[in-house]
Amino acid sequence: MEKDLLLQKTNMELDDPHLKFTYKVYYENFSEVNFQNIKAFYDAYYGMDASIKLPMELFFYILKDKGILVEFYMDSIVVGYIFGKTRELCVFGTVYPISEGTLLCIHKDYRNIHLTPYLINVVLKCGMLYHNVSLFIFNGSRPLKAESFTSSKIYYRPIHVDLLLQANFFPSDLESPDIYRTFPCDTSLYVSSKTIDTVKLTNTINTFYQTYFDIYEVLDTAHFQQAGTLHYHVRIKRSKKLVAHFVLYNTIVRNVVDYRVGYVHYMYFTKFVCNSVKECINKLAEHCKLNNLCDTLAFHSQFPLNDYFKDLGFLQGKGSTSYYMLNAKMSKIPAYKNGLQQY
């Protein structure tokens, strides 16, 4: 669909909605935004299976480069938020600038009234005009009428077993969680730091993505230079040579007992073979336990780990994230060929 036609269709839907709502759109200048209120809203309503407490740094991270924030009201009550940002995607070898909608969050009392399409339409319209692009994508856990071009699940590698047992984290049919208790630690294997060679890291991860995925975000050095306190880098060495690099950030899941999830946002291995993968992920789990970084690790299913999930003792999460290109026909991309991740 051409950009002008898509915007015309979007305007028609927004001009004649079946619901009465208003909204505010924030660009660049966010001085009027009360981020404490936004975080409280997300803490209460974000997540399908349980409430997820996102770090506030994540909001700033998404908004830092031509970000968009849309705030929705019904009867003067805030009922939802959605964020927009721009980035470059490589799709089957061709790079496109795109606008993206993400972190959709709706008040629980206003769900199931078909409010979601309006939030997406607003951030679509604003994003395509503000970012001056012709393509728009959306990712989220809520299904849309449009067909997604790919979806991904979350796989967990438990670390702090006793706490996770209290939080009812494990499925009832799990034979025994004791397999996750043993962590022989060798601290000489780890290098963890906020200071990294961003040029080398960017080139390496882009090469990793180009090798394994049909669609992925094209990263630049600023992506890591501006991450601030959000990302935590863990590098794993063998014989003084780097064999793996993980970049993760944490969220808190509010369940029966709060527990911390360390989402592996980017990663690469210098040798992508089974023994190396198993060793590196187990070493990452050791490091996270030793330094009390998180209670379970989370990996998106699009990382090329499909053959190793069972051997590594992963547990599959209940939900999934779907990805939509709302104005372009996208061929179906298998999860393991999709390098995109939800924030």
Which domains are present in the chain? 3-145 (3.40.630.30), 151-320 (3.40.630.30)
Mean pLDDT in residue range 200-208: 88
Give pLDDT, residue 110. Answer: 87
| pLDDT above 70 coverage of the chain, percent | 86
The per-residue pLDDT for range 233-250, each reduced to its tens digit, is 888 877 777 788 888 888
Distance (Å, whole) CA 91 – CA 111: 33
* pLDDT value at 48 more than 70: no
Q: When comparing pLDDT for 82 and 201, which is higher?
A: 82
What pTM was estimated for this model as a whole?
A: 0.87
Give pLDDT, residue 52. Answer: 86
* pLDDT value at 342 more than 80: no
| Cβ neighbours of residue 278 closer than 8 Å, sequence gap 6 or more | 308, 311, 312
The per-residue pLDDT for range 54-96, each reduced to its tens digit, is 888 899 988 988 899 999 998 889 999 999 999 999 999 999 9
Give pLDDT, residue 282. Answer: 84
Tokens linked to 206: 């882009």
- Contact yes or no for 317/139 (Cβ under 8 A): no
